[in-house]
Structure 1
Amino acid sequence: MASTSCELQSHLPEDILADILRRLPLRTLARFRCVSKSWRSLFADPFFVRTHLNFLKLHPHLNTRIILSRYIHPPLSVGPEDYSSLPTAEDDSKCGFEISQELHLPPILGNIYSVKGHCDGLICVIISDGSIVLWNPSIREYRKLPTPSNFRKTREVLGLGFDPSLNDYKIVRAPSDYCNCKIKDYHPQIEVFTLGSNSWRKLPDEETPPFFIQHYQQSLTLNGGLYWLTMEDFRTIILRFDLVEEKFKVVPPPPQDGPGRNIAWLGVLNDSLCVFHSQRFTYIDIWTTMDDQTWTKLITIPKIHEPEPSLRCLDYSPLCFMKSGTLLMRVRGKGLVAYDPVDDRYSKLAVLESESWLHETVCTESLVSPYGCNRALEQTGSSSTITLNLWKLLLDLKNGVSQLLAMERPARLLPALAMYKHLRNCITCKNLN
């Protein structure tokens, strides 16, 4: 593998090489980081990180892992190398989940911790010593963040998401139901932390919603917004915070197609916001929306047959679809299970030495640094940044040439080809120097 990497590096122009590398799984790139300083700089470049992440989002079976939080013990990472694998009738335990990896995060050693949100491979963790940590387990980087005023440690509600207008990540402090119940004269204050500024700022009081969120909930991030479930008068509310406009709104729920139905779970499946309704002993309906307005029934799942069926709809938590279409879920008391909608059957998945955990996080593997673009630019250096800027121009030119070819306009092709060759020569000369 090392010799192949060196051959690629020495024989291919940088723009083509970068285009090849961005299509590789993260674990492969992690091994390639030691090939050369230029490759290490490339993998830290913000443009490469974003294009690599966008490619992997189109192929989730290549980069999806499940992080199991274990109260005071280090978290575990589980999941098959290929999400197309399925358990067989002869051996239901074999589905790639029989191997778990213990993750190393120094600040949590000996401390209670709680995952509050995740986005693009970054995980927001609150530790019982009062610290907030932003962590990417894929590249083994973490960053301790400053805390906002009157911070209540793991009882706080935080959300993590990406603001495309700033090209930066934000952490949002939302009203906590625990703090509202336990702290006298609790005054919820919406505060926003931006990685680039490394500071918290308060939003006006009128932006604070009249709802409180359970502190053990993880936020969901999707389409430029953060989502939580909350309650009002025994009615479930879907709350959304727009990361660009920095405003809350209530998302209308799916239709109530039966008596006593209520939302029992909120999650993301197939890049869509999803909820489910539970029909007591019998089945679960999962609904999905792409625009926070129009809901479509995605799938109906029967509950697991037991001598004494559970009324608790919270016992079921869908996690993700495998490549084959099988739905992976956590079921309380049974661990991880897979539901095959074609065969209409459940299979239990073995997770050796890790059958007990508090909650799970479906996490994307990525090269995104918890230090944001600032750390990436420090690592790449100015000369590498110039090269990557040339590479970006090359990609644009290649796209333009392809469009001209498709339109059959060869006369307009010559200037574009000349510019393409010139930029290629610039990059080649720079590398030789």
Structure 2
Amino acid sequence: MADELTELPHLPMEIIREILAWLPVKPLCRFRCVSKSWNSLTFDPKFVKMHFNKALEHEDVLHQRRRVLVTGVYSGEFYSFSLDEFLDNDDIDNVGCDDENHELSVTEVSRVGDVRGSSVFYSNALMLFESNQRFSLFNPVTRESKVVPVFPKLGRCDIINAKLYGFGFDPSTQDYKMVYMICEDCAAVRRQHPHSPILMELKFGVYSLKTGYWRVIEKGYPYQCLSHGGMGKLLNGGIHWLVYRDYGDLSSMVLLSFVLAEEEVREIPLPPRFHNEGGGVYLSVFRDCLCMILGYGEEVWIMKEYGVRESWTKIRISIPPCEWVHSGFRKKYYDLLLLEDDENKLVLLNFDKNIFRNLSIRGVPEVGYAVVYLESLVSPNNFGITD
């Protein structure tokens, strides 16, 4: 009888795959020790994709696996926490508004290994982070990483005025791509346009995780970017930057999209009544919409229908005047924003009521970056769902 009770039932592999696909990543990694077949299963690209898609298909699984990753300004180290769990356990709707006496505090925080980085970006299942001017792909749960090869030389560079970057997942090829862009003052191009005193040109290189190599795009684009070291905003299959068509002419601002699937450049129309008269203008993403912000938030526009000029809508967000970025976290009517002022801080914005609450993180006095990621088995070294 004892043997009958302890004997495990024999289940078809299809059922085992389905059961395991619902589990969190950390238990699955421990289960690799159960058998060779289970170990192989967790590295199988089809299972990795099946496991990842559970979070996209089921809201409860999404909330279980979704985490916020932040970097400390002073330490540069990575920390993560479950904001979904925090919101479920804390009745923030009955907490006072932006009064410091009612500041929300997250205490259940995990340190994400010994990874240190000056910036971090996320797409689909992997992160790209920069450390000591080198970029690496990283899975914050399995702690696997892969160093991106050194950027190739682009074009006929005389003077490089700026370097910009982008990172995203291309579903058309099931591949992760990093985009490297330089703005060069090219004498060869100027010789073709003798009436223009200065002509800038953008050149692009694309790194593919599948191939492990960079591809230089030979075509140059006649734009000028004034910012340096910025990361483009990923949305709708394209990476976006603000550039200028004419050197030194702020009125010639252009919203540029590098389309990952075609690896081509397209212009996105600006708001019809948007005027840049020398004030700071920067690009963000708000609720899956492109967002243009003038000055320190005095004027905010969102593009409700991607690519449609007439869909630009001016909105009002009641937060302190400063530059801000959306972390990617949204639940019900709450959005998590990082305010980039003298003391970087996180706020939970109730967009419906147009109020916000400060959010502090235990052990992280000042936040450098904040992004949202899904716990997954995707490996930068084993391609995971990129196969």
Name the structure with the higher helix share. 1
CA offset digits 1:155-205 (Å, max 9, x no partner):
843222223333222221112599xxxxxx998541111122211121113
Q: Does 1:158 align with 2:157?
A: no
Distance of 2:276 and 2:168 partners within structure 1: 36
Deviations 1:352-399 (A, max 9, x none): 22122333333333221112438999xxxxxxxxxxxxxxxxxxxxxx
Distance in 1, matches of 2:263 and 2:331, equals 35
Does the CA contact (< 8 Å) of 1:276 and 1:287 recur in 2? yes
Q: Does residue 288 of structure 2 align to residue 275 of structure 1?
A: no
Residue by residue, what CA displacement relative to the aligned partner does 1:41-72 show, whole Å, maximum 9, x if unpaired?
22221122223323323434332423325366
**Number of matched pairs:** 345
Change (3 A) 1:241 1:348: same
User: Is the 2:223–2:244 Cα contact (8 Å) retained in structure 1?
Assistant: no
Instruction: Specify the alignment match of 1:287 in structure 2.
Output: 302
CA contact (8 A) 1:326 1:341 kept: yes
TM-score, structure 2 as length reference: 0.73
Cα distance, 1:241 vs. partner? 0.8
* Deviates further, 60-69 or 237-246: 60-69
Q: Does 1:210 align with 2:220?
A: no
Report the RMSD for the aligned CA atoms in angstroms. 3.9
C-alpha offsets along residues 262-298 of structure 1, whole Å, 9 cap, x if unaligned? Answer: 85331253xx2330445878x6645244533263649
Structure-2 residue corresponding to 1:182 = none
Partner of 1:131: 134
Write the letter of the residue equivalent to 2:336. Answer: L
Q: Which moved more, 1:335-344 or 1:228-237?
A: 228-237
Bigger share in strand: 2
Is the CA contact (8 Å cut-off) linking 2:378 and 2:384 kept in structure 1? no
Q: Is the 8 A contact 1:121 1:138 kept in 2?
A: no
Calculate percent identity across the aligned residue pairs: 24
Letter in 2 for 1:126: E
What is the deviation of 1:121? 2.6
CA distance in 1, matches of 2:357, 2:210: 45
Alpha-carbon distance in 2 for matches of 1:278, 1:350: 27
Aligned: 1:238 with 2:251 = no
2:334 aligned with 1:326: yes
Question: Could you say what secondary structure the match of 1:367 adopts?
Answer: coil
Note if 1:98 corresponds to 2:116: no
Match for 2:233: what amino acid?
L
State whether residues 227 and 239 of structure 1, in contact with CA within 8 Å, keep that contact through their aligned partners in structure 2. yes
Q: Secondary structure at the match of 1:302?
A: coil
Unaligned runs of 5+ in 2: 1-5, 155-161, 186-198
Among 196, 200, 208, the residue aligned to 2:210:
196
SS in structure 2 opposite 1:303? coil
- Change in 2 beyond 3 A, CA 1:92/1:200: same
Residue of 208, 212, 223 corresponding to 2:236: 223
Q: Deviations over 1:80-113 (max 9, x none)?
A: 2526435342774446x3333222245x4xxxx4
Is it true that 1:70 corresponds to 2:42 in the alignment?
no
Do 1:61 and 1:83's aligned partners in 2 also have CA atoms closer than 8 Å? Answer: no
Q: Is the 8 A contact 1:319 1:328 kept in 2?
A: yes
Q: How does 1:239-254 map to 2 (within 5 A)?
A: 239-254=256-271
Q: What is the identity, as a one-letter code, of the residue corresponding to 1:99?
A: E
Shift of the alpha carbon at 1:140? 0.5
Q: Does residue 148 of the first structure (1) align with residue 148 of the second (2)?
A: no
| TM-score calculated relative to the size of structure 1 | 0.66
Residue 13 (structure 1) aligns with: 12
Does the aligned pair in 1 maintain the 2:280–2:296 contact within 8 Å?
no
2:306 partner SS: coil
Q: Which of 296, 310, 318 is the aligned partner of 1:302? A: 318
Most deviating of 254-263 and 58-67: 254-263
For 2:37, give the aligned amino acid: S
Determine the C-alpha separation between the residues in 1 that align with 2:336 and 2:281.
Answer: 19
CA 1:375/1:264 → structure 2, altered by over 3 Å: closer, same or farther?
closer
Within-5 A mapping of 1:172-187: 172-175=179-182
Give the aligned residue type for 1:266: S
Q: Where does structure 1 lack aligned partners over 5 or more consecutive residues?
A: 1-5, 179-184, 305-309, 378-433
- Aligned with residue 61 of structure 1, among 60, 63, 66: 63
Question: Structure 2 matches for 1:413-428, cutoff 5 A?
Answer: none
Provide the C-alpha distance between the structure 2 equivalents of 1:20 and 1:298, rounded to a whole number of angstroms: 47
Q: Does 1:119 align with 2:143?
A: no
Q: 1:345 aligns with which of 351, 355, 360?
A: 355
Structure 2 CA distance for partners of 1:93 and 1:21, relative to 1, 3 Å: farther
Q: 1:362 to 1:221 in 2, by over 3 A?
A: same
Alpha-carbon offset, residue 326 of structure 1:
1.1
Distance (whole Å) between structure 2 residues aligned to residue 250 and residue 10 of structure 1: 59
What is the one-letter code of the residue matched to 2:232?
S
Look up the equivalent residue of 1:118 and give its one-letter code: Y
